[in-house]
Structure 1
Amino acid sequence: MQVSDGLRRYLQDLKNAKLIVIKVIYFFFLAAMVLPWPHFTIHQRELGISTYYTGVIGTALSVVSIFLPFWATLLGDKIGNFKVPMSITTALAGVNILLFTVVPLAHPTTTTTGHNITATGYNISATVATTEHNLTINSSMLMPIMEPDPERLNITFWSYLILRTSYGALTGIGFTLYDGAVMAYVQNQGVDYGFQRAWGTLAALCFSYAGGLIVEHTGHFYILFYVCGGLHVTTAAFMMLLELNFKLPTQSLTKEIISHLYNPKVVIFLCAMLLAGVVMGYLETFIYRYLGSLGGSPLLLSLTVAVVAPLNFFLTLASSFLVNLLGHAALISLGLFVISFRMFVYSMLVNPWWALPLEMLDALCSGLLTNVAIMYCTVLFSSKSITSSRGIISALNFGLGQLLGNLVGTEIREVMGDRATLQVFGGAAFVSAVLYGAAYLFITRQSLFTHSSTQGSNSPTETTNNHGTDNKSFEDTIEMEPSDSGTTENTREVL
């Protein structure tokens, strides 16, 4: 694929009125998701929840992420046109996040008299600035002194655990279903996934920075949660405008999924996504608290999301070009290598602002890796199970993988500390990259040697789409599938 051809297809995509709603949904949905994302763990710290309990919350969230999005996508393939439950789930996520505003503080309540601050039995003296009409207190000076009340901490922890897991489940189900819907568009109508997904990346660029500004200027998280709730409800409304009538119900879904597992490339691909989820699960849970312990401000934490967005936007647009140039497997291995590099460098940080160039690399190890994985699903899985394939990736990467990362990482961190734990996971990512690349090369060579004269066999094979097979042009290998009416249709027809 030439650059000029890619630019021509992108301009055609922009002019296609049928795809506008897909782009708008990605924009608002990703805006709602990234706005509070770097602030959850900081919000927990401000409420008095310890680092250890943050790990527990992350672990519980991963357990929920294993089952619910996966079962939701299975139901989506069974239903066919699932835009109504998808919209309802997204709206409920907007209602759910508003409830974070009523989670009680684990710290004792405080009263002020002159220059003395009394906290339910604790006498704390601090230097404060007073005027005739107001009293200003540097809360960051007081937080380390005020220990959480055990009874209050219990209420705060369980309240936050329930809300955080339910919010994670609702957003996970909604976004996984929506990604599955777009993947169905890719297979059925030749839509370029990267061109649509890039608008979500653009939203991440705008709203991640806005989240830090909201917290810094208001001094609390309430407005952040209100804006996020409004974005979720807006997204739900636009979802009702989607046309998914072409997505027909699948009858024997379990048999369809199992048939794909006979393909060794599917097996090693799923293993690679699981291992990536393990490493990234630990990093995403603890990195913001780690940077906070180094002196990182709320603005810096928002910038860690914002700085990655421009490069991520470009790579998302160029994802089809890169797949045709390097192949899915090479890009997945590259993503794992970059994860390893980030973990090792993070373990040596002293100045938290050096996290910004490291986070720019997240465009390769999280953004591009995820996009390539989703595009690879449209190659490895059939249209009958395409939504379920997105659920499988979500369950392995964001569910089971992050669960293992949180469980193992929390225990290692308690014994070895932040820096050594980052090095352990960095080594694991490096080994995973080597093993996946070696396994893919071995399977590919064995397949070429063994099946060179049996190309017409009935075993599950990779299909093709407008993203192209590894290092091949998609125009050379367009697949024709029988339609439900018994006729033959070109499933790669561009809108």
Structure 2
Amino acid sequence: MDEDCSKTSMKSDTDQKLDMEKTEIEKKEGLALLIYDLKQRKLIPIKILSLVVFSGYGVLLPYAAIHMKSLGISVEETGAIYSVNAVLSVLIPICSGMIADKLGNFKMSCLQNLSARSICQLDRKSGAVSRKEKTATLALKLFQSDYNIERMIPVLWMALEDESEFDHKSSDFQCSTYGEKLNLLQTVYSQDNQTENHRTTHYRMCRSQCVVQINRSDLCSDKVREEVINPQLTFWMYLLLRSVFEVFAVGSYTLFDGAALVLVNEVRGDFGFQKMFGFIGFAIFSPISGALMDHFSKNENDTNFRPAFFLFAGLFGIAAVGMLTIDLNFKPPAEKLMKNLISLLKNVELDVLLSVCVASGFLVGCTGNYLFLFLEEIGGTRSLMGLSVTISCLTAIPLLLLSDTIFRKFSVPNVLVFCLFTFVVRLIGYSYITNPNLCLVYESMEAINGALSLTSFMIYATQLGTTSTATSIQGLISATYFGLGAGIGSSVGGVLIGAFGQRVVFRILGVIAFLTGFFYFLFNILYLRLKANDKNNTAEKADSSVNRKVEEIQ
């Protein structure tokens, strides 16, 4: 009897110690939690890699739709490309997550994905546009003049329309609105320094009467460059390269987020804090990429996207090497993975969360992939587009810093409802703006319905799962958000924009966001709160029964 009491006493002391440790950890909130997180050496590689990986996203992905437009790909074809990528975005995260959970230490798989991703992007930096040299054909009306005009329009040689040679090299002629029409088969050299023998001669009238549809800079060289675009070749080559890129992109994103979550849970850190470093990188490098593209572009109609592709490849190459520093040896391989996942999918709370995740991804896919096209239509520059991304990321930083406090105080379902209603305001606002600079106001809201919303999905889904299925759960979230949601949204968005225009589509999406937020609000009140109350009542009954047994023993 004394031995049993002793064992009971030891067990009670152990439980009390565990409860005290748990209470101490739970007390770490706000600044105390951030300081605790910064002291964790295991999370330092995650913070650095978040900065590098999200910087890579920022230099290229926001400009993907503009890049496709520059290659001659229509909005409908853009939607078709996103549709194919949607299928890959559904399959790859689930497969990557299951493989990672089976392997346990999956950092080599993540390294391979990051390396391949940086390499395959270099293959499509220029697009499938071929160029060839072609001589210019200019229409010019001439007549012989009695005035002695010296070298007003010097011509090397000409041929008439009947291909006969015209060896007369005298420059004693001028442009006019009448006379015989000739086709120049060589570049015309225009010279500004002219001598005149008659003060009343107006040479500028000649230039205004020679209407030529060609860049004046091309007339200063011997040959003219002409772009020859094969739309079908461009579309299929881009689709192939983008699909290969998507395989490695989605796989690396799933594995990296899975590694981050596993490490954060291991040391009881803050997942939103790790994401914050990523958004700092996004905010810094996205405007740098836009400014470099503007700087190296010859004109507004010929954007040079090479700086973005080279930056992307370089950053992800660094991330691949940095992945070697992450320690995942503590994560054991999962057992009975499929059985555990199937049991998780029977959870109504998780199923509804995945449905809301699909709806949110749909809204992001319809807006995010085509937003820069809309800004370009109303006169926005690449630098402004990059600045809008910076504003969004800077706004996201304090939200991610306080994400743990926000989730504890308001609960994740309430935060998701608020994110959806914020999306309504942002979408309706975009449908009315005509000044591109106003996008900075609405992009500050993107931090709520983008970064905070996605972080909410990941943390909530992890709470509903187990440690052994953490990466698989993240794969499921990525598949529903980026694959089903954003993929379907991108394809449907392209069709809707082609049919109704972007402003009408913004209003349609605003209605969808409102309905999704309203129904999830009802689910929160009618199901989640009742379930939480029942759980609290059950816990109180269990505690009271334990207390009665302890009193009886005493």
**TM superposition score category, shorter chain reference:** 0.7 to 0.9
The aligned residue for residue 426 of structure 2 is 342
Question: Per-residue deviation at 1:410?
Answer: 2.8
Q: Secondary structure at the match of 1:36?
A: helix
Question: Per-residue deviation at 1:134?
Answer: 11
The aligned residue for residue 279 of structure 1 is 363
Structure 2: which 5+ residue stretches go unaligned? 1-24, 140-183, 186-210, 298-303, 542-554
Residues 74 and 126 (structure 1 numbering): CA distance in 2 closer, same or farther, change over 3 Å? same
Question: Per-residue deviation at 1:349?
Answer: 1.8
- 1:82 pairs, out of 106, 110, 118, with 106
Q: Which amino acid aligns with 1:264?
A: V
In the alignment, is the contact (CA less than 8 A) between 1:187 and 1:378 conserved in 2? no
- 2:268 pairs, out of 185, 190, 195, with 190
In the alignment, is the contact (CA less than 8 A) between 1:276 and 1:397 conserved in 2? yes
In the alignment, is the contact (CA less than 8 A) between 1:31 and 1:200 conserved in 2? yes
Q: Where in structure 2 are the equivalents of 1:287-298 lying within 5 Å?
A: 287-298=371-382
**In the aligned structure 1, how far is the partner of 2:292 from the partner of 2:453?**
30
Deviates more, 1:44-53 or 1:6-15: 6-15
Residues 453 and 310 (structure 1 numbering): CA distance in 2 closer, same or farther, change over 3 Å? closer
The aligned residue for residue 59 of structure 2 is 35
Q: Secondary structure at the match of 2:124?
A: helix
Question: Per-residue deviation at 1:168?
Answer: 2.3
Question: Per-residue deviation at 1:272?
Answer: 0.8
The aligned residue for residue 247 of structure 1 is 331
Question: Per-residue deviation at 1:6?
Answer: 1.9
In the alignment, is the contact (CA less than 8 A) between 1:38 and 1:288 conserved in 2? yes
The aligned residue for residue 64 of structure 1 is 88
- 2:385 pairs, out of 301, 309, 334, with 301
Q: Which amino acid aligns with 1:179?
A: D
Question: Per-residue deviation at 1:261?
Answer: 2.6
Q: Where in structure 2 are the equivalents of 1:144-155 lying within 5 Å?
A: 149=229, 152-155=230-233
Poorly superposed stretches of 4+, deviation over 6 Å: 1-4, 114-118, 130-137
Question: Per-residue deviation at 1:312?
Answer: 0.8
**In the aligned structure 1, how far is the partner of 2:398 from the partner of 2:135?**
52
Residues 5 and 385 (structure 1 numbering): CA distance in 2 closer, same or farther, change over 3 Å? closer
Q: TM-score, normalised by structure 2?
A: 0.74
**In the aligned structure 2, how far is the partner of 1:352 from the partner of 1:367?**
23
In the alignment, is the contact (CA less than 8 A) between 1:128 and 1:136 conserved in 2? no
The aligned residue for residue 101 of structure 1 is 125
**In the aligned structure 1, how far is the partner of 2:107 from the partner of 2:311?**
24
Higher alpha-carbon Rg = 2
Deviations 1:313-339 (A, max 9, x none): 111111111111211011111111111
**In the aligned structure 2, how far is the partner of 1:175 from the partner of 1:182?**
11
In the alignment, is the contact (CA less than 8 A) between 1:91 and 1:236 conserved in 2? yes
- Does residue 439 of structure 2 align to residue 355 of structure 1? yes
In the alignment, is the contact (CA less than 8 A) between 2:361 and 2:482 conserved in 1? yes
Q: Secondary structure at the match of 1:307?
A: helix
Q: Where in structure 2 are the equivalents of 1:10-409 lying within 5 Å?
A: 10-105=34-129, 109=132, 111=134, 113=136, 125-129=213-217, 149=229, 152-219=230-297, 220-409=304-493
Question: Per-residue deviation at 1:183?
Answer: 1.1
Deviations 1:143-196 (A, max 9, x none): xxx8x75xx111111111111222222121101111011111232221211221
**In the aligned structure 2, how far is the partner of 1:245 from the partner of 1:377?**
23
Question: Per-residue deviation at 1:112?
Answer: 6.2
The aligned residue for residue 549 of structure 2 is none
Residues 371 and 452 (structure 1 numbering): CA distance in 2 closer, same or farther, change over 3 Å? closer
Q: Which amino acid aligns with 1:10?
A: L
In the alignment, is the contact (CA less than 8 A) between 1:35 and 1:211 conserved in 2? yes
Cα RMSD of the aligned pairs, angstroms, is: 2.8
Q: Which amino acid aligns with 1:128?
A: R
Question: Per-residue deviation at 1:115?
Answer: 8.1
In the alignment, is the contact (CA less than 8 A) between 2:29 and 2:404 conserved in 1? no
**In the aligned structure 1, how far is the partner of 2:402 from the partner of 2:514?**
25
The aligned residue for residue 472 of structure 1 is none
Question: Per-residue deviation at 1:19?
Answer: 1.9
Residues 290 and 110 (structure 1 numbering): CA distance in 2 closer, same or farther, change over 3 Å? farther
Q: Which amino acid aligns with 1:199?
A: F
Structure 1: which 5+ residue stretches go unaligned? 458-495
**In the aligned structure 2, how far is the partner of 1:115 from the partner of 1:324?**
72
Deviations 1:197-238 (A, max 9, x none): 111011011101111011011111112211210111110101
The aligned residue for residue 179 of structure 2 is none
Question: Per-residue deviation at 1:103?
Answer: 2.4
